[in-house]
Each structure stands twice: as C-alpha cells, then as structure tokens.
Amino acid sequence: MKFSIVIPVYNESKNLPLLISQIYKVLKNHTFELIIIDDNSSDGTFEVLNKIKKKNFRFFIRKKRRDLSRSCVLGFDKSKYKNILVMDGDLQHDPKYIKKMYKTYKKYDLDIVIGSRKLLSGKNQGLSELRRFTSIILIYFFRIFKIKTNDPMSGFFIFRKEIYYKNKNFFFGKGFKILADFLINSKQNLKTRDITIDFNRRYNSESKM
C-alpha cells in the first residue's frame, strides 16, 4: 500500500493540525507521503505547516493566482508514488475512508475510486441545499457522457498517476473540480467506482468554490 496524498488548501490553519494527525493515525502501518499545496494563505497556514514534523511530509506554497486544480497538479508533479489520493483540507473528508477506498481501488484494478457524497438522498450534513442541487444537475449532465459516478464533483478520490501524464495535454487544468476534468477529458475509458461516504460539516473555513 504505497501512495501519495495531495491536499490543496487555502486558509485552513485551524483545520490542518487535526487533519494531519488523523491521517497519520489512520495510516500508521502503511507507506505513504503527504503533500500539502497552499495557495498563499493569509491566515498563518505557512507558520502552522512549518511546525509540523512528520515522516514523509512536505508542503509547497503557490504564490501565483489561486486555483485549486493547479494546486493539485503541482502536487501530482511533486509526488513520488504511482497512486495518488486527493482530499480537501477542511475536515469534510474523513480520513477513515482512505483505506477502504484504496482496497477497492486495488482489488478491482480500477483507474479511479471516488468518495461519493449522498447527493441524491439529501443526507449530506456538510452541504448546503444550493450546492447539493447544483451537484445533482451536474450528475445528470455527466451521464450524457456515460460517466458512471454519483459524485463527479467530489474532491476525494484516488487514481493512477499515469492517467494524469497520459492525458494532461487534454485537461482544462484550472478551476475547482479537477475530478470532473479527469472524467470528461481523459482520452481513454476509465474504470471507476464510487465509495459512499458521510460528508462532514465544515467548521473553520469557507468553500473554495
């Protein structure tokens, strides 16, 4: 079980210590690296990250125009493992699901496993009705392209790094939903599967979208 975890962040100084602690606790017997890409936060995130002393932990500060997808891409380029997991830094994605996602990914030899929110059921504790409604519209839009997932806008997924390198010239490469970019613009039929997750409430930050 070897993979890189890439977390794009902006103004998450209050959430990161707890999130990083949870990740290392859940994955204490596994081989991974953790890469934080900060979009030049203004809340002291740099100082928080600079104090964290963990094995295989690195962070980078992007001082260009803020962009979640471009932060992810920087993380992909800096990663050393062939499998990459992306998640948010605001505690809405619970690290307890990482092992289940990775086991499914390996067991079925998939290209992408998606942490899927319960959008269609209306049971998303951390999602406003406006965002849920928008996401549902996009689910049906994606089905026009025969893309099989109940959460194409998820920010919690694991994928093969080679997908990025084989298709990066076709990706839009900017914006807030890099998974959607992968699913629409990859020039190959991707094998995907959803893992249903409980989406946590956001406490100390605002949606980047």
The per-residue pLDDT for range 75-122, each reduced to its tens digit, is 999 999 999 999 999 999 999 999 999 999 999 999 999 999 875 555
pTM, rounded to two decimals: 0.87
Between CA 27 and CA 81 the distance in angstroms is 16
**Paired tokens of 176:** 């807030």
pLDDT in tens, the chain (209 residues): 799 999 999 999 999 999 999 999 999 999 999 999 999 999 999 999 999 999 999 999 999 888 999 999 999 999 999 999 999 999 999 999 999 999 999 999 999 999 998 755 555 555 566 666 666 676 666 666 666 788 888 999 999 999 999 998 988 777 778 998 898 888 888 999 999 999 886 655 555 55
